[in-house]
Amino acid sequence: MSVTRAQVRGIGHYLPERIVENAEFESLVETSDEWIRSRSGIERRHFVAEGQTTSDIATLAAEAALADAGLCAGDIDAVIVATSTADLTFPAAATMVQAKLGMTGGFAFDIQAVCAGFVFALSTANALIIAGQARRVLVIGAETFSRILDWQDRSTCVLFGDGAGALVLEAAEGTGETSDRGILASDLHSDGQYRDILYVDGGVSTQSTGLLRMQGKEVFRHAIAKLAETAHASLERAGLSAADVDWIVPHQANLRIIRGTAQKMGLGMDRVVLTVQDHGNTSAASIPLALSVGKGRGQIKAGQLIVTEAIGGGLAWGSVVLRW
């Protein structure tokens, strides 16, 4: 049976030039390189330059993905940007990327599901392609979390970084079998009763900017179980199991969460693409960044089965199973 699959045509990323090592935080808060590494696995992260915006870095990642795909902006039907740190309240950062790429056709919009944003964006792009509303979709995760950090809160300011990753999804014909390339299944969830364990304490209707607030122990408590459950759900929906997985490409938030999730799935760390040590938590950008870096390292190859999973504020969480 012939089916439409959303296949990855190209991928790219951008990391800001400024690299911030853990030691830099020792002059801001009571912390140390050893303390940060032992609790998160993070060694360094990137911060945007003065005046550099989320749409700026999203555009650079998009250009890299288009180049990798051998396409130009005019070949794209839709742009989806997953972000919690858009340049303005409106319009969407995606429309700004659309303009910077020189696109005058198609459509563009943002998705806001915090760290789970890219998974939600992938699932949405897949649905658009299957429905025939778009043939090629540029899916971007981009964040400038350095703009919303409380530099006096050592439990959060050391964890996050800035960056952007992008991929091009393209409609292609599949057989309907698990051997097809492209997105095979997804699984999405949210539960607003947990809002207060990870949020920004400001917004438009409160007429304040706000800073990131997190109850780290509570987020950790939810993360491992929910991430493993959603990964298994996507795999089951695709007719596959953890034994079929070549790579887990998880949200890069915390090394202990990544290890715990892999263990709960019955997979070793040798099957996990890991970038948290160099990027920190880049929220919606972390999965596409890891996919792009993983491909660049030679880890991710055509035909391999990949599971991506993420959890973030909301709480919102989900996973996608795709064959590269």
Which of the residues are catalytic?
115, 251, 281
The neighbouring-strand residues paired with 173 are 4
DSSP notation for 44-92: EEEEPPTT--HHHHHHHHHHHHHHHHT--GGG-SEEEEE-SS-SSSSS-
Contact 87, 57 (CB under 8 A): no
Classify 159 as helix, strand or coil. coil
Measured distance CA(135)–CA(54) in Å, rounded? 26
CA 316/CA 64 separation, integer angstroms:
28
Amino acid at 34: E
Tokens of 168: 């091009």
| DSSP per-residue letters across 205-235 | GGTB---EEE-HHHHHHHHHHHHHHHHHHHH
From the list 188, 167, 127, 183, the residue with the least C-alpha distance to 322 is 183
- CA 169, CA 166: separation in Å to the nearest integer? 10
